[in-house]
Amino acid sequence: MKIHWNDLTLEEWEEAFCAVPRSNLLQSWPYAQMMRAVKQMSTRFGRLADGGETLAIFQVHEVKLMPLYHVVILDRGPLWLVPNVTREHWQAFVDQLTVEFPKRFGRRRRFMPEMEISPEGESILSAADFSVRAAGYQSIWIDLSTDEEARRTQLKQNWRNALNQAGRRDTVVEARSDVLTFNWLMKCYDQDRKSKAYQGPTVGVLTSLYRFCKPRGEVMILTANRSHRPIAGILIFGHGQSATYQIGWTDDEGRDARAHQLLLWNAIAKLKDEGRVWLDLGGINPEQAPGVTQFKRGLNGEEFQLAGVYG
């Protein structure tokens, strides 16, 4: 098994990316465009191959300054194209990555593998001289392939009750991705993020992603409105067969109307109509954001945690 760099056309890369059932935004082409526009980082497109078969694809972002300074970022990769990923697959990938980017003075590495947390995975990474820097990403996958009745039955009781309450209110849901609606949501989100001091992507990053995703039809903005006034909104980015719930905002009236349950429920139906198969709920943090975590767990999806952030 060997890593090949930049030997696929954009069309070939997109075809491989769309073949991954559970892709993620951080490995998408618009994300690479954002990293160049906002972070001034170049991107290398790699694939792990065994003879003529491509086993996985991934992108690495990097900055080189002066003879020694080198920043290397690989977030949520690789994306595997084989149905059964073995220890040997991961061992080969990590070994090849270490050969390409060995630890040295002046090089800063950030590797967040798309690998579920496990002692076996940790042993592979530590043996390759990777050290854990932070806990792994936690989130929930929602299977969009099920029908509406099955999805509603799967909901936890309190979430289903809130959705039923929302359905009885005079709340109108609108799907719009125009720049005026986006800018309104960004203003609300930025004010909320600063006032509550929670972590989240900057408006600059989101604006760049919007710019590159919109022409591809990969932006979904839903608003909940009462008396012709928005009381809540969510932003979702599509990528291949999957999508990611990116941000949400609501005011007191929106919370009282259970607007977020209504918005997310409508988004799931619309994503399925688009042909998406999986929705990543955009992260949970039981310790620092228990309320958001409880809300997302109410959909009763498939919870997961990645191995961690390594350097």
pLDDT digits (tens, 9 = 90+) for 225-248: 998 899 999 999 999 999 999 999
Same domain, 125 and 182: no
The token duo for 61 is 């972002």
The band of 198, judged by pLDDT with boundaries at 50, 70 and 90, is confident
Residue 135 lies in a domain: no
Environment class of 168 (CB within 10 Å of its CB; exposed 0-12, middle 13-18, buried 19+): exposed
Half-sphere exposure of 125 (CA within 13 A, CB side): 23
- Percentage of residues of the chain with pLDDT beyond 90: 92
Same domain, 117 and 241: no
Q: What is the reported pLDDT for 199?
A: 83
Residue 191 lies in a domain: yes
Provide the residue range defining the domain that includes 87.
2-130
- DSSP-H helix ranges across the chain: 10-18, 29-39, 87-100, 119-127, 148-154, 157-167, 179-196, 203-213, 252-256, 259-274, 290-297
Same domain, 179 and 219: yes
CATH number at residue 285: 3.40.630.30
Distance CA(199)–CA(107), nearest Å, equals 26
Instruction: Give the residue from 82, 103, 130 where a domain finishes.
Output: 130
Dmax (CA) for the chain in angstroms is 64
The band of 196, judged by pLDDT with boundaries at 50, 70 and 90, is confident
Q: What is the pLDDT of residues 87-112, one digit of tens each?
A: 999 999 999 999 999 999 999 999 99
Same domain, 145 and 293: yes
Contacts 24+ apart (CB under 8 A), 186-189: 188/233, 188/249, 189/247, 189/249
- 58 DSSP assignment: E
Token pair 């690495």: residue = 60
Same domain, 146 and 295: yes
Distance CA(177)–CA(211), nearest Å, equals 11
Residue 310 lies in a domain: no
Same domain, 126 and 145: no
Q: What is the reported pLDDT for 67?
A: 83
Residue 13 lies in a domain: yes
Same domain, 116 and 159: no
Q: What is the reported pLDDT for 41?
A: 97
Q: What is the reported pLDDT for 5?
A: 96
**β 138-143/132-134 pair status:** unpaired
Instruction: Give the residue from 95, 130, 165 where a domain finishes.
Output: 130
How many domains, in total, are found in the chain? Answer: 2
Q: Select the more confidently predicted residue: 193 or 272.
A: 272
Q: What is the pLDDT of residues 268-300, one digit of tens each?
A: 999 999 999 999 999 999 999 999 999 999 999
Distance CA(93)–CA(79), nearest Å, equals 11
Residue 311 lies in a domain: no
Q: Select the more confidently predicted residue: 199 or 225.
A: 225
Residue 86 lies in a domain: yes
Same domain, 178 and 224: yes
Determine if the pTM surpasses 0.85.
yes
Distance CA(246)–CA(289), nearest Å, equals 15
Q: What is the reported pLDDT for 66?
A: 82
Q: Select the more confidently predicted residue: 19 or 197.
A: 19
Q: What is the pLDDT of residues 149-166, one digit of tens each?
A: 999 999 999 999 999 999
Same domain, 149 and 296: yes
Residue 21 lies in a domain: yes
Q: What is the reported pLDDT for 204?
A: 96
CB count in 10 Å sphere of residue 288? 10
Residue 224 lies in a domain: yes
Distance CA(40)–CA(73), nearest Å, equals 13
Same domain, 219 and 183: yes
The token duo for 294 is 């409880």
SS3 content of the chain, % helix, strand, coil (to 5): 40, 30, 30
Same domain, 84 and 181: no
Instruction: Give the residue from 130, 164, 189 where a domain finishes.
Output: 130
Same domain, 14 and 124: yes
